[in-house]
Amino acid sequence: MKNLFCLFLISLSLLFLSCKNEIVACGNADKTSVIVDEIITFTNCSESGEALWDFGDGTGSVLTGDSVQYSYAYVGNYTVTLYVLQGDEEPGDQLTIDITVN
């Protein structure tokens, strides 16, 4: 019985050590409908991880940070993607926000 209990404790310890905490992306924009050149503030509310923002306008502009500002030069519909990276820039979760520029 003692050996069975020890085996149970070892198995339980390995189970907890092998679990990885997945970071869930959480983000928002202060506005989702703007005019050309109007500044939008994007906020990362994810619990941890590095935030990488892609603004979906084809310019290749990518910013990092928990709070970033961006404006669009042209009318259109854009999809902003927040990538939350885990340790060592390992890919984590992502979230999209649709923006309309009039």
Domain that holds residue 96: 22-101
7: in domain: no
What does the longest C-alpha to C-alpha distance in the chain come to? 73
Based on the structure, what is the number of domains in the chain?
1
CB atoms within 10 A of CB 34: 17
Q: Tens-of-pLDDT digits for all 102 residues of the chain?
A: 665 555 555 655 544 444 556 789 999 999 999 999 999 999 999 987 788 999 999 987 888 888 999 999 999 999 999 999 887 767 789 999 999 999
In a domain, 83, yes or no: yes
The whole-number pLDDT of residue 91 equals 79
CATH of the domain at 69: 2.60.40.10
Note whether 97 and 43 are within 8 A (CB): no
Q: Which helix (H) or strand (E) holds 2?
A: helix 2-18
Residue 14 in domain: no
Residue 81's closest CA among 90, 71, 73, 63? Answer: 63
pLDDT on residue 17? 46
